[in-house]
Structure 1
Amino acid sequence: MKAVGSYLFEYALIAAVMLISVLGFWDIYFGAESHAQPHHHLHVVTAFAWMFLLLFQLTLIQRGSYATHRRVGLVVLVAAPILVATTAMLSVHSAHRGLVSGDGDFLIVQNVMGTLELALLIGLAFVLKKQRKLHAAFLLSTTVLFMGIALFFALITFVPQFKIEGPETFYRFQTAAMTGQAIVLGVGLVFFVKDMRNGWPFLLAASFFLLNELIRSSLSQFSLMNPLTQFVGSLSQPLTFIGTFALMLVLLAATALPIASRPRVG
């Protein structure tokens, strides 16, 4: 059985992401103009359920309970599609709200790409399930995505230098985003340096925020932000959830569940 210290960085990451997520949602639930909606509740429940599941799995590994870890892994096969499907549905909801308000959706690229990147990290975790350390790294690196988004909202809520106080301070959105990206990249780099062979998924997850910013800049340059928002916002939220869930469930089942060997003919 390995000591807790062997996974100190991983425990610290999950704990930090949970704390930052609470701060990120603070204004929505406890701010002066709090207006928590059902989709916020759904996002909070699924995100924290996922993080607690990762924490439980990490604890099982730390204790050497590998058989239980594998059984609990079957729960991940359902929890992961729910998480990705919820994220996809929220992306549609956010884009639709931007269309209705006429203000657009400044998080459209982050929402859409974040959903795809979350699915990619989880998918790779199961494709590489036989490489245990990489499998664990990919699953734990999903928390880096949560960290980056939560950091943005935590900064503009609690740090005076990033608070929006009127149109003349809208530039602080960009400043907060860049600061969050720098912090997340630092976290990814720490895990990469800690274990270059198996820690690169953390750096990959952290680099997604820079990739998303490049995509956003390119779409803005060619005036494609509004068409993207219109397309995503026009999708059905229930069908998006069902379709994404079904697709992720099939893909994960195909990679994670054992396939019965066929008898040879002749």
Structure 2
Amino acid sequence: MPYRYAHYFVGFVLAVTVAGFWASYFVPTAPMPLAFHVHAITAMTWLAFLIVQSVAIHRRKNAFHKTLGQASFVLFPLLMLGFVAIINLSSARYVAAESDFIMILGPAFGIGMVIALAAYLVLFYNALKNRRNVRLHAGYMLATPLILFESPFSRVIDQFLPWLNVIGSEGPRAVLDTIVVSDVLVACFALALYFRDRKHGTPWLVAIGFVLLQAVVMWFAPDMAFLGPMFDAYGQIPGNLTMAAGAFAGVVVTYLGWTAGSRPKEKVAVSPA
């Protein structure tokens, strides 16, 4: 089976997630918004799901792998709902002009999560569509953790590895520097995986495209004056409606991907009269 050490890779992502959010989420000094809990629980459950799936298939537990895979039909829409919950929270803070930091970086965080959501929809659709091609299916599923790696690792850079911020911007934009560095490192890792198996390397190219798009758009977001009014207008939409839309998008993509990957029906030969 391909990617026999994938569970270690995903486990590393999970460890970085805990390290990056330890101070701000796991040991908070103030109550956390519900959106953080929804996103954290669904995102970490997704990582745990990938770890178990990888271990199961490499131990030849094919039936368990298939059964657990069907649980993703519920988990994935919830994951998308969690993404939208964070977008909504960023938007609400921007509309409320909560701080100068949010007024500068709020739209960047929002558009970054929109790109991440789009990436997950594309990757999961293709994972289901190509589920009969083991290498492509595994690649698309394992590419999903790469999309959000910038979020915890940028915090790890800021807290423990400041020397990795080679861009060196001043003020709030320094946060975007660490995101760019994280995304570039992810792109390099994905590129190495692509060259390892170019025949089945499309998932890694897709991931590279999304993380580099995310890096560029987020870094330049503070200079895009139109994003502020768009973010403000988005904030006027009821949160329940946008979260329902996110979950619905997850359901639709799951259905379309599963349908696209179904075996074509055999044509019944009709004997001439």
TM band (smaller chain): 0.7 to 0.9
Cα distance in 1 for partners of 2:232, 2:51 equals 38
Cα distance in 2 for partners of 1:14, 1:60 equals 14
| Counterpart selection for 1:46 from 29, 33, 42 | 42
| Counterpart selection for 1:7 from 4, 26, 30 | 4
Confirm or deny: 8 A CA contact 1:141 1:201 kept in the other structure. Answer: yes
In the TM superposition, what is the alpha-carbon distance from 1:35 to its structure 2 partner?
5.1
| Counterpart selection for 2:60 from 46, 58, 64 | 64
Out of 221-230 and 60-69, give the one that drifted further: 221-230
Q: Which secondary structure does the structure 2 equivalent of 1:7 belong to?
A: coil
| Counterpart selection for 1:55 from 51, 60, 79 | 51
Matched with 1:122 is 124
Matched with 1:179 is 181
Cα deviation 1:76-121 (Å, max 9, x = unaligned): 1111111112112221221121121254313121011111111111
Out of 48-57 and 223-232, give the one that drifted further: 223-232
Matched with 2:17 is 21
In the TM superposition, what is the alpha-carbon distance from 1:243 to its structure 2 partner?
2.2
Cα distance in 2 for partners of 1:174, 1:60 equals 38
In the TM superposition, what is the alpha-carbon distance from 1:145 to its structure 2 partner?
1.1
CA gap of 1:180–1:35, structure 2 versus 1, over 3 A, is: farther
Does residue 76 of structure 1 match 2:72?
Answer: yes
Matched with 1:224 is 226
In the TM superposition, what is the alpha-carbon distance from 1:247 to its structure 2 partner?
3.1
Percent identity (aligned)? 19
Does residue 205 of structure 1 match 2:211?
Answer: no
CA gap of 1:216–1:182, structure 2 versus 1, over 3 A, is: closer
Cα distance in 2 for partners of 1:239, 1:32 equals 29
Out of 77-86 and 240-249, give the one that drifted further: 240-249
TM-score, normalised with respect to structure 2: 0.82
Matched with 1:131 is 133
Matched with 1:256 is 258
Which one-letter code corresponds to 1:25 in the other structure?
F
Which one-letter code corresponds to 1:77 in the other structure?
F
Cα deviation 1:138-194 (Å, max 9, x = unaligned): 11110101212221122223334579xxx9543422331222122111221222122
Matched with 1:151 is 153
Cα distance in 1 for partners of 2:249, 2:162 equals 43
Unaligned runs of 5+ in 1: none
Which one-letter code corresponds to 1:138 in the other structure?
Y
Confirm or deny: 8 A CA contact 2:180 2:215 kept in the other structure. Answer: no
CA gap of 1:39–1:125, structure 2 versus 1, over 3 A, is: same
Which one-letter code corresponds to 2:19 in the other structure?
L
In the TM superposition, what is the alpha-carbon distance from 1:29 to its structure 2 partner?
2.8
Which one-letter code corresponds to 1:239 in the other structure?
L
Matched with 2:238 is 236
Q: Which secondary structure does the structure 1 equivalent of 2:18 belong to?
A: helix
Which one-letter code corresponds to 2:77 in the other structure?
P
CA gap of 1:44–1:64, structure 2 versus 1, over 3 A, is: same
| Counterpart selection for 1:194 from 193, 196, 201 | 196
Confirm or deny: 8 A CA contact 1:188 1:206 kept in the other structure. Answer: yes
Cα distance in 1 for partners of 2:124, 2:113 equals 17
In the TM superposition, what is the alpha-carbon distance from 1:204 to its structure 2 partner?
2.4
Cα distance in 2 for partners of 1:19, 1:179 equals 19
Matched with 1:245 is 247
Matched with 1:110 is 112
Out of 224-233 and 19-28, give the one that drifted further: 224-233
Does residue 101 of structure 1 match 2:97?
Answer: yes
Which one-letter code corresponds to 1:68 in the other structure?
F
In the TM superposition, what is the alpha-carbon distance from 1:60 to its structure 2 partner?
1.4
